[in-house]
Amino acid sequence: MNKLVILGAFLLVPVAGANVKFLAIGRPSAIRIEGRMEPLTAVKTEWKDGRFSGTYRIPVTSLDSGISLRDKHAKEKYLETEKFPDAEYILEGCPLKVGETDCGGNLTLHGVTKPVTIKVIASDGGPSVLKVKAEFGIKLSDYGIAIPKFANVTVADTVDISVESEAKKP
């Protein structure tokens, strides 16, 4: 299974850094590609009627897997970061509270926008901190991204995404 792990913020004021990390598994599964991206940015967030909404951008241009040639190919050939430098997720009216809930929104990646439901797990991190983890999956082909292939090894089409953060409670 492929995993793209993103550590980020889903609340108004992040307490911890919103670092972005990813993990992709190849087919056959002997290949593991781990890396990071620059922190995501909260463009707009708001609490209204007990629900949280927000727009978040992830700088895809900052992808770094530790191998510069692989990064160059990923950015130029597959992600086309010159045309699509950022991914954006718009979270729509999530009833964010301690516990687990499903929240809806739209992910724009590689110039394609698709609805994506995320599973959000929030826990109490202390008197003024909420710990948040969001999980969802995408198919690269749904976003018009060619499946990377080299020497008969490919990255699987499905990518699991996880976002973790600590934030100040509202």
User: What domains can be seen in the chain, in order of their start residue?
Assistant: 2-168 (2.40.128.110)
pLDDT score for 169: 62
Backbone region of residue 98 per phi and psi (left: phi > 0; alpha: psi in -120 to 50; beta: other values): beta
Please tell me which residue, 52 or 30, carries the higher pLDDT value.
52
Calculate the CA dihedral of residues 103, 57, 8, 70 and round it to 10 degrees. Answer: 120
Report the C-alpha gap between 42 and 46 in whole angstroms: 11
What is the SS3 string spanning 23-85?
Answer: EEEEECCCCEEEEEECCCEEEEEEEECCEEEEEEEEEHHHCECCCHHHHHHHHHHHCCCCCCC
pTM above 0.75, yes or no: yes
pLDDT score for 167: 65
Report the C-alpha gap between 156 and 2 in whole angstroms: 6
pLDDT score for 26: 72
pLDDT, mean of residues 22-49: 73
Is the per-residue pLDDT at 10 higher than 60?
Answer: no
For the stretch 44-103, pLDDT in tens is 888 788 788 888 888 889 888 888 988 898 899 999 999 999 999 999 988 877 899 999
Q: Which of 54, 73, 53, 50 is CA-nearest to residue 63?
A: 73
- According to DSSP, the β-strands at 2-7 and 112-124 are unpaired
pLDDT score for 98: 85
pLDDT score for 1: 39
Q: Which two tokens stand for residue 139?
A: 């198919």
pLDDT score for 53: 86
pLDDT score for 58: 83
For the stretch 102-159, pLDDT in tens is 999 999 999 999 999 999 888 887 777 777 787 888 888 999 999 887 777 788 787 7
